[in-house]
Amino acid sequence: MATANVSSQSSAEERDPRYHTARIADMLNEVIRHAREDATKVDDPQAKALFETSAEVLTGLVSAYKHFDQRTEVWR
């Protein structure tokens, strides 16, 4: 019984970069949520700042993914 080579048979959806950018943006949004939640749970001011800064940096990255998907001037 022959098995199909899955890596060479990518669906059209998987070849579309927006499929991947959406998945990565979802993962980044989850990390953002988690970092902000953790910032409220710790007393250490440096840890709070680290978590909030991480959330802000990742928010910028999510914005870059959105701009890529929308093909705004940034990506032209």
Q: Where are the domains of the chain?
A: 11-70
Q: Are 67 and 40 in contact (CB under 8 A)?
A: no
Which residue's entry shows tokens 């060479």?
A: 8
DSSP string covering 23-55: HHHHHHHHHHHHHHHHHTT---HHHHHHHHHHH
Express each pLDDT in 38-74 by its tens digit. 999 999 999 999 999 999 999 999 999 999 998 876 6
In this prediction, what percent of the chain has a pLDDT beyond 90? 67
Question: Mean pLDDT of all residues in the chain?
Answer: 87
